[in-house]
């Protein structure tokens, strides 16, 4: 016995009055069947040993879930926000001109102001087209198939 235990009476008289007996009990036969119970638990655990693959997936699952969450948030937040950036707003507000508009615009630009007014003041029927002119135009510019399609389409 160590000196500390022998000297207990001197340093702690109240404590040394107590018998250091064990106040705890166990159920009857507890230690007799503990090893068998433990063995069953070990065997049960060995049956349900997870495969390496499923273990890897189990570890990766939170990371995959997190990545998917970020992707969703990104797609929901990024595109609406992107359309509000100054560059994008400017781009959206630009009038897009197709090639026909551009040709028309350049043709109008090419006409000088006097010719333009002259054109506006000129009566619409100033130059009457004869039936022969129309027939000649149609013959040269429109195919039979287009005429057939146009008449049957209506």
Partner 1 sequence: MENDDHGLLELLKHDHTKGQAFQTLVKTYQERLYWHIRKIVLNHDDADDVLQNTFMKVWRNLDKFREESSLYTWLYRIATNESITFVNSVKKRSLIPMNDTTEFLLQNMISDEFFEGDEIQVRLQEAILKLPEKQRIVFNMKYFDDMKYEDMSEILETSVGALKASFHHAVKKIEDHLKNRD
11 binds partner 1 (CB under 8 A): yes
41 binds partner 1 (CB under 8 A): yes
Q: Rounded to 5 degrees, what are φ and ψ at 116? A: -65, -45
CB 8 within 8 A of CB 15: yes
55 binds partner 1 (CB under 8 A): no
Q: Rounded to 5 degrees, what are φ and ψ at 126? A: -60, -40
90 binds partner 1 (CB under 8 A): no
33 binds partner 1 (CB under 8 A): no
In angstroms, rounded to a whole number, what is the distance separating the alpha carbons of residues 82 and 84?
A: 5
- Interface with partner 1 by CB under 8 A: which range of 12-20, 58-66, 83-91, 131-139? 12-20
- Interface with partner 1 by CB under 8 A: which range of 39-47, 52-60, 120-128, 141-149? 39-47
Residue selected from 18, 47, 113, 124 as contacting partner 1 according to rule CB under 8 A: 18
Q: Which two tokens stand for residue 3?
A: 């000196």
> How far apart, in Å, are the Cα atoms of 149 and each of 139, 142, 154?
16, 11, 9
Find all residues with CB under 8 Å of 151, minimum gap 6, and list them.
none
Catalog residues that contact partner 1 under the rule CB under 8 A: 1-2, 4-5, 8, 11-15, 18, 20, 22-27, 30-31, 34-35, 37-39, 41-42, 45
């Amino acid at each position: 016995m160590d000196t500390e235990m022998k000297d207990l009476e001197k340093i702690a008289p109240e404590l040394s009055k107590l018998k250091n007996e064990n106040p705890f009990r166990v159920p009857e036969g507890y230690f007799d069947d503990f090893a068998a119970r433990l063995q069953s638990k070990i065997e049960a655990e060995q049956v349900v040993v997870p495969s390496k693959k499923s273990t890897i997936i189990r570890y990766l699952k939170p990371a995959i879930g997190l990545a998917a969450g970020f992707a969703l948030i990104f797609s929901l937040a990024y595109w609406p926000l992107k359309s509000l950036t100054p560059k994008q707003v400017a781009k959206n507000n630009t009038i897009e001109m197709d090639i026909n508009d551009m040709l028309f615009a350049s043709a109008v630009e090419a006409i000088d102001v006097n010719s333009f007014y002259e054109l506006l003041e000129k009566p619409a029927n100033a130059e009457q087209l004869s039936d022969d002119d129309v027939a000649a135009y149609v013959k040269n510019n429109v195919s039979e198939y287009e005429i057939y399609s146009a008449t049957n389409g209506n």
